[in-house]
Chain A
Amino acid sequence: MTSHKNPAARILRVLVGGLAAMLFAAVAQADESRADYLLYKEALYHIYNNDHFRALNLLESTHTGATHIANKYHNLNHLLAVESSLHLGLFQQAQGILEHLDFTNREPAIREVSRLYRGRLSYQQGQWQEAIDTFRKLGGELPAEYRDEASYYLAMSLMHQGHLQQVAPILARMGQNSLWTAYGYYNLAMQYAELDVDPSRALVALRVAGAMTNTSPEGLALSDQIHLSAGQLSLRAEDYGKAMTFLQKVRVRSEASPAAIYAYGLAYQGLGQYRAAVQMWHRAKKYALVLPGVAESFQAVAYGFEKENLRSSALEAYVEAVSVYDKEMAHLNKLVAELRDKGAVEVLLEGQLRQEVDWFLLGDVVTNTPKAGLVGYLMADETFYRRAKTILELRELQKILDQGESNLGIFQKMVETQQQKASRSSTARPLKQKASELNALVNERNRLVKDIEGAEKEQDYFRLAPPLMLAQKHRIDQLKAELHRLQQQGGGQDVEQKLAKLRLLEGELLWRAMSDFDANRQRARRHVASLDEQIHHYKEGLKRLSERVDDAGHYSSERDRIAKLRTRTTALSKQLQQLVAEENQAVTRMAIERLERHRARMEEHKRLSQVALVNLLDDIAVRQASRMVRPERGGQL
Chain B
Amino acid sequence: MDRFVTRFTFFLLCLAAPLFLTAQASSVEERATALKKQVIDLNRELFELEEELLYPANSQIVVFLAINSKRGFQLDSVELRVNGRLATTYLYSDREINALNRGGVQRLYMGNLGAGSHRIEAVFNGRGADDRYYRQQVSYDLEKQHSAKLVELVVQDSRNAANLPDFLIREYK
Q: Is the interface of A mostly helix, strand, loop or mixed?
A: helix
> A210 CB to closest chain B CB, in angstroms?
25
Q: Is the CB of A394 within 8 A of B42?
A: no
Q: Which residues of B contact A393 (CB under 8 A)?
A: 32, 36
Q: Is the CB of A45 within 8 A of B32?
A: no
Pick from B29, B43, B105: contact of A41, CB under 8 Å: B105
Q: Which residues of A contact B28 (CB under 8 A)?
A: 387, 390, 579, 582-583, 586
Interface status of A407 (Cβ within 8 A of chain B): yes
Q: Which residues of B contact A407 (CB under 8 A)?
A: 46, 50
Q: What number of residue pairs across chains A and B have CB atoms under 8 A from each other?
A: 116
Q: Which residues of B contact A568 (CB under 8 A)?
A: 38, 42
> B37 CB to closest chain A CB, in angstroms?
6
1/0 per residue, CB under 8 A from B, across A35-75: the answer is 00010011011111110010011000100000000000000
Q: How many residues of A contact B (CB 8 A)?
A: 49
Interface status of A146 (Cβ within 8 A of chain B): no
Q: Which residues of B contact A572 (CB under 8 A)?
A: 35, 38-39, 42
Q: Is the CB of A45 within 8 A of B53?
A: no
Interface status of A485 (Cβ within 8 A of chain B): no
Q: Is the CB of B53 within 8 A of A48?
A: no
Given A48-B98, A394-B32, A572-B35 in contact, is the A42-B43 Cβ separation under 8 Å? no
Interface status of B86 (Cβ within 8 A of chain A): no
Pick from B33, B40, B98, B105: contact of A57, CB under 8 Å: B40
Pick from B32, B95, B98, B172: contact of A34, CB under 8 Å: B172
- In Å, the complex CA distance between A622 and B139 comes to 88
**A59: nearest residue on chain B (CB-CB)?**
B44
> Which residues of chain A in 548-583 are interfacial with respect to chain B, using CB atoms and an 8 Å cutoff?
558, 561-562, 565, 568-569, 572, 575-576, 579, 582-583
Q: Is the CB of A44 within 8 A of B103?
A: yes
Q: Which residues of B contact A11 (CB under 8 A)?
A: none
**A358: nearest residue on chain B (CB-CB)?**
B95
Binds B, one of A366-374, A397-405, A511-519: A397-405
Q: Which residues of A contact B (CB under 8 A)?
A: 34, 38, 41-42, 44-50, 53, 56-57, 61, 88-93, 387, 390, 393-394, 397, 400-401, 404, 407-408, 411, 414-415, 537, 540, 558, 561-562, 565, 568-569, 572, 575-576, 579, 582-583, 586
Ordered by A's residue number, 25 sampled pairs between the chains whose C-beta atoms are within 8 Å are A41-B103, A45-B96, A45-B100, A45-B104, A49-B95, A50-B95, A57-B43, A57-B47, A89-B32, A92-B33, A92-B37, A93-B37, A387-B28, A393-B36, A400-B39, A411-B53, A414-B53, A540-B146, A562-B49, A565-B42, A568-B42, A575-B31, A579-B31, A579-B35, A586-B28
